[in-house]
């Protein structure tokens, strides 16, 4: 009994000390005038730039990461956080706008916004870019490793249905992308709301089932790098990560068309330091900073002035900076509303259920 | 006497508060949410939806895999537990089996991705013995194997405890009365440890119904369980109503399993008398 009492006291003492210590730590990083909290995807910024920003402006940056748009919105919606800047994808910008979670950007404080390619501005998901500025953009396509294949080539989505590819194709565990691939391969819109079209796309996907090796998430990057997988449906950014580690891998955007996506800088309503947030956005849009960041992250930058400062070979790479013609076949996701998102997911579930038959 | 009673009711406060806040209230909320559609209107559509072919097939396949996982866990756990009770330092050996279950589930799962990969040690071994490379990851086999690995400690523990409490004199008596070892096992050991097996089945079968991370990482979403469907409904589709409805059914299934596996109390009473 005595030893129990002693250990209870000891535990309480240690907890007390830790609590004090923790409070002390939080005190140091308390948000306010001279700090901002940036809430971004993992590995989605050059950490040197954060240091440079701190040195230039004297504003301390607290950097936190998330791994899905939904998780990010969840945290912002529930409040209790003080994120000053975050980076949702385009459909999430639309959703956050609807839920009144964003604060309009004051462009007088962001002169560097002039550097952004007008092609990527004023898109339907955020007219006049009232709330968001594109951070990176990309496509959805097929990453493949020719050294593991028997000469198959990829130009069209239909190539994935080739009977020689049994158990070779990895799809992404996301309804919009996978059902979208079915829609695209039939020449339908990625934002189709037509039940018949969706039905046809699902049935076409089900015909792919013998070729499907797995339907997974980010783990695919590692599998492709390690030559474990030969073909995967993926985002251009993820393909860039794969190609950086494994030079054999190639990436194409199928000719029928595909998705054009954006990740965008926004100021959520949880903002604490609104001037700091604007200063950070302006800093990230500086051509030199954007060029360095694009070089580090490996995604395509919408910053026109930055392109001049980057390696011409990278900028000329049609896989990541497709020409106008290819771009015209790309489609940006529209927010279809929860009702239809449910339909897409139910069809996707039906497809996944058919895999094990 | 009065004072004693008061004291006892004070003792029950933490329990009552706990049950209310963390068991009854959440279940109540789940049931409540299951009656609402996306736009917040009261509806029974979610329940009707659940009986559509997709969710029904999903439920059946969840049960099938949970059954497989439980069956193989039991098949391995019972002899293991029996063997453990016969060893000299049984608590130590038991501890060695329990310790891996302290490691984070996700970490262990990721480790299996490496182990079962085309260039992993398992395939290297298969190649060495002449079978050649196999696609192990993303199959039914890998899914059941990894799940069994994860659940086995939870199956061994209750069985071990039951076997450990078994009075060895009963076995001697059975042998003295002329029963062979199979009859002894069938008529003495198994009935007296059935409650350990039942609680083992409970702690394996119920979570196995709702596994979700492993279905993606190890089975590549070729196996889908009720857990995966709930996760999707809450995180991706944001249809809390449908997610809650599936959860309501999952809770119902759990109750049924609990009832079935705790129905026969006879063995326990006999056990109680012996002690």
Residue B40 has pLDDT above 70, yes or no: yes
- Confidence band (pLDDT; 50, 70, 90) for B269? very low
Q: Do A356 and B113 touch (CB under 8 A)?
A: no
Assess contact for B113 and B137: CB atoms under 8 A: yes
Phi–psi pair at A168, nearest 5 degrees: -115, -25
Q: Do A226 and B119 touch (CB under 8 A)?
A: yes
Residue B271 has pLDDT above 70, yes or no: no
Q: What percent of chain B has pLDDT over 90?
A: 67
From residue B18, give the alpha-carbon distance in Å to each of A16, A296, B9, B13, B22: 24, 50, 14, 8, 6
Query: In A, which residues are within 8 Å of B133 by CB distance?
Result: none
A148 to chain B, any CB pair closer than 8 A? The answer is no
A3 to chain B, any CB pair closer than 8 A? The answer is no
Q: Which of B218, B142, B135 is nearest to A166 (CA)?
A: B135
Q: Measure CB to CB from residue B58 to each of A68, A219, A353 and give the nearest one.
A: A353
Distance linking the first and last C-alpha atoms of chain A: 60
- Confidence band (pLDDT; 50, 70, 90) for B3? low
| Mean pLDDT for chain B overall | 89
A210 to chain B, any CB pair closer than 8 A? The answer is no
Could you tell me whether strands A60-66 and A35-41 are parallel, antiparallel, or unpaired per DSSP bridges? parallel
Mean pLDDT of B161-167: 92
Chain B closest CA to A206's CA: distance in Å?
13
Which chain A residue is nearest to residue B215, measuring alpha carbons?
A: A216
A99 to chain B, any CB pair closer than 8 A? The answer is no
Q: Do B222 and A173 touch (CB under 8 A)?
A: no
Q: Measure CB to CB from residue A352 to each of B221, B237, B238 and give the nearest one.
A: B221
Q: Measure CB to CB from residue B222 to each of A339, A350, A356 and give the nearest one.
A: A356
Question: What's the confidence (pLDDT) of residue B112?
Answer: 93
Of A48-62, A220-234, B73-87, B253-267, where does mean pLDDT reach its minimum? B253-267
Question: What's the confidence (pLDDT) of residue A354?
Answer: 92
A/B interface, count of CB pairs below 8 Å: 79
Mean pLDDT of B153-164: 94
- Confidence band (pLDDT; 50, 70, 90) for B8? confident
Most confident by average pLDDT, A5-19, B67-81, B171-185: B67-81
- Confidence band (pLDDT; 50, 70, 90) for A6? confident
- Confidence band (pLDDT; 50, 70, 90) for B267? very low
Mutate which of B212, B221, B226, B227 to test chain A, going by most A C-beta atoms within 10 A? B221
Could you tell me whether strands A250-252 and A132-144 are parallel, antiparallel, or unpaired per DSSP bridges? antiparallel
Q: What percent of chain A has pLDDT over 70?
A: 97
The two structure tokens encoding residue A17: 């000390």
Assess contact for A278 and A352: CB atoms under 8 A: no
pLDDT one-digit tens code per residue, A46-91: 999 999 999 999 999 999 999 888 889 988 988 888 899 999 999 8
| Pure H helices in chain A | 2-28, 47-57, 69-78, 90-98, 175-185, 195-207, 219-225, 236-245, 274-285, 287-297, 304-307, 312-315, 324-327, 337-354
Residue A117 has pLDDT above 60, yes or no: yes
Element (H, E) at A265: strand A258-268
Chain B closest CA to A344's CA: distance in Å?
9
Residue with tokens 């799962």: B109
| Pure H helices in chain B | 2-18, 25-33, 45-50, 53-86, 90-98, 105-116, 121-128, 140-165, 168-176, 181-184, 190-209, 213-217, 226-231, 240-261, 266-274
Question: What's the confidence (pLDDT) of residue B148?
Answer: 96
A349 to chain B, any CB pair closer than 8 A? The answer is yes
Chain A closest CA to B10's CA: distance in Å?
21
Question: What's the confidence (pLDDT) of residue B69?
Answer: 97
Which chain A residue is nearest to residue B235, measuring alpha carbons?
A: A70
pLDDT one-digit tens code per residue, A127-155: 999 999 999 999 999 999 999 999 999 99
- Greater pLDDT, A69 or A205: A205
Which residues on adjacent β-strands are paired with residue A170?
A: A214, A232
Question: What's the confidence (pLDDT) of residue A27?
Answer: 52
Query: In B, which residues are within 8 Å of A355 by CB distance?
Result: 221-222
Q: Measure CB to CB from residue B220 to each of A213, A339, A345 and give the nearest one.
A: A213
Assess contact for A84 and A37: CB atoms under 8 A: yes
Question: What's the confidence (pLDDT) of residue B23?
Answer: 93
Mean pLDDT of A91-101: 92
Chain B closest CA to A352's CA: distance in Å?
6
- How far apart CA A71 and CA B238 sit, in angstroms, is 11
- Confidence band (pLDDT; 50, 70, 90) for B9? confident
The two structure tokens encoding residue A128: 């006049």
- Confidence band (pLDDT; 50, 70, 90) for B4? low
Q: How many CA atoms lie within 13 A of A13 on its CB side?
A: 6
Can you tell me whether residue B115 is helix, strand or coil? Answer: helix
Mean pLDDT of A168-190: 94
Query: In A, which residues are within 8 Å of B212 by CB distance?
Result: none
- How far apart CA A316 and CA A314 sit, in angstroms, is 5
- pTM (predicted TM-score): 0.84
Residue A268 has pLDDT above 70, yes or no: yes
pLDDT one-digit tens code per residue, B193-242: 999 999 999 999 999 998 888 999 999 999 999 998 998 888 888 889 99
Residue B270 has pLDDT above 50, yes or no: no
- How far apart CA A133 and CA A80 sit, in angstroms, is 25
Q: Measure CB to CB from residue A338 to each of B38, B217, B222 and give the nearest one.
A: B38
Question: What's the confidence (pLDDT) of residue B2?
Answer: 54
């Amino acid at each position: 009994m005595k030893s129990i009492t002693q250990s209870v006291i000891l535990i309480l003492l240690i907890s007390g000390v830790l609590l004090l210590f923790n409070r002390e730590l939080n005190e140091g990083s308390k948000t306010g005038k001279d700090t901002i909290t940036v809430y971004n995807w993992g590995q989605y910024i050059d950490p040197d730039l954060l240091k440079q920003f701190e040195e230039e402006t004297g504003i301390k940056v607290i950097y936190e990461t998330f791994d899905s748009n939904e998780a990010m919105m969840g945290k912002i919606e529930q409040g209790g956080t003080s994120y000053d800047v975050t980076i949702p994808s385009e459909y999430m910008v639309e959703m956050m706008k609807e839920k009144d979670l964003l604060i309009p950007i004051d462009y007088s404080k962001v002169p560097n916004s002039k550097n952004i390619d007008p092609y990527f501005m004023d898109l339907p998901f955020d007219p006049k870019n009232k709330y968001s500025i594109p951070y990176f953009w990309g496509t959805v396509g097929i990453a493949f490793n020719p050294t593991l294949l028997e000469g198959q080539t990829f130009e069209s989505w239909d190539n994935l249905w080739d009977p020689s590819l049994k158990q070779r194709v990895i799809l992404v565990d996301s309804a919009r992308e996978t059902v979208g691939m079915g829609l695209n391969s039939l020449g339908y819109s990625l934002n189709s709301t037509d039940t018949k079209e969706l039905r046809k796309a699902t049935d076409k996907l089900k015909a792919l089932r013998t070729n499907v090796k797995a339907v997974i998430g980010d783990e695919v990057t590692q599998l492709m790098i390690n030559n474990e997988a030969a073909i995967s449906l993926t985002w251009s950014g993820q393909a860039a990560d794969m190609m950086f580690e494994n030079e054999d891998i190639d990436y194409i955007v199928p000719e029928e068309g595909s998705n054009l996506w954006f990740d965008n800088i926004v100021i959520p309503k949880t903002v604490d330091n609104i001037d700091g947030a604007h200063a950070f956005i302006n800093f990230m849009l500086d051509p030199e900073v954007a060029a360095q960041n694009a070089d580090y992250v490996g995604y395509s930058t919408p910053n026109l002035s930055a392109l001049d400062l980057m390696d011409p070979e990278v900028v000329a790479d049609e896989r990541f900076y497709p020409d106008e013609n290819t771009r015209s076949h790309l489609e940006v996701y529209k927010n279809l509303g929860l009702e239809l998102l449910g339909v897409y997911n139910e069809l996707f579930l039906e497809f996944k259920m058919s895999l094990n038959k | 006497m009065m004072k004693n009673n008061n004291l006892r009711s004070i003792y029950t406060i933490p329990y009552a508060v706990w049950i209310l806040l963390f068991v009854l209230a959440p279940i109540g909320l789940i049931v409540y949410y299951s009656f609402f559609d996306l736009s917040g209107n009261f509806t029974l559509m979610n329940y009707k939806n659940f009986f559509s072919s997709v969710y029904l097939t999903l439920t059946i396949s969840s049960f099938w895999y949970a059954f497989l996982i439980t069956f193989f866990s039991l098949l391995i756990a019972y002899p293991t537990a029996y063997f453990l009770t016969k060893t000299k330092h049984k608590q130590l050996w038991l501890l060695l089996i329990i310790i891996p279950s302290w490691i984070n589930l996700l970490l262990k799962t990721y480790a299996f991705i490496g182990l079962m990969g085309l260039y992993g040690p398992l395939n290297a071994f298969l190649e060495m013995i002449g079978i050649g490379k196999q696609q192990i990851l993303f199959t039914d086999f890998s899914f059941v194997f990894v799940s069994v690995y994860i659940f086995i400690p939870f199956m061994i523990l209750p069985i071990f405890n039951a076997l450990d409490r078994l009075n060895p004199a009963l076995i001697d008596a059975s042998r003295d009365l002329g029963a062979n070892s199979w009859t002894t096992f069938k008529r003495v050991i198994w009935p007296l440890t059935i409650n350990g097996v039942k609680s083992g089945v409970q702690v394996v079968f119920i979570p196995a119904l709702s596994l979700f991370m492993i279905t993606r990482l190890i089975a590549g979403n070729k196996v889908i369980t009720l857990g995966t469907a709930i996760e999707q409904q809450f995180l991706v589709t944001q249809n809390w109503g449908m997610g809650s409805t599936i959860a309501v059914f999952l809770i119902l299934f759990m109750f049924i399993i609990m009832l079935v596996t705790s129905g026969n109390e006879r063995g326990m009473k006999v056990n109680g008398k012996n002690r």
